[in-house]
Amino acid sequence: MNKQRELNNVSGDDGFARLYGAVEADLETALQKSEMVSTEKNRATAVAMNAEIRRTKARLLEELPKLRRLAPKKVKGLSKEDLVARSDLVTVLKERIEAIPDGSTSGAKQTGGWTDSAPYAGIKIDSTSGLDVIAEGLDTLKNMAGDLNEEIDRQVPLMDEIDDKVDRANADLKNTNVRLKDTIIKPELLHRYHPPDSNFRNCSLFVQCLEVN
Point out the residues of the chain with pLDDT beneath 70: 1-12, 105-133, 136, 186-213
Query: Residue 185's pLDDT is what?
Result: 73
Instruction: Look at residue 58 and tell me if it is in a domain.
Output: yes
Instruction: Look at residue 52 and tell me if it is in a domain.
Output: yes
Q: How many domains does the chain have?
A: 1
Instruction: Look at residue 144 and tell me if it is in a domain.
Output: no
C-alpha to C-alpha distance for 30 and 132, rounded to whole angstroms = 18
8-state DSSP, 30: H
Q: Is the pTM of this model over 0.75?
A: no
Q: Which range marks the domain in which residue 88 is found?
A: 2-105
Instruction: Look at residue 147 and tell me if it is in a domain.
Output: no
Instruction: Look at residue 130 and tell me if it is in a domain.
Output: no
Instruction: Look at residue 171 and tell me if it is in a domain.
Output: no
C-alpha to C-alpha distance for 4 and 24, rounded to whole angstroms = 10
Residues 6+ away with beta carbon under 8 Å from 64: 23, 90, 93, 94, 97
* Closest by Cα among 74, 96, 98, 102 to 16: 74
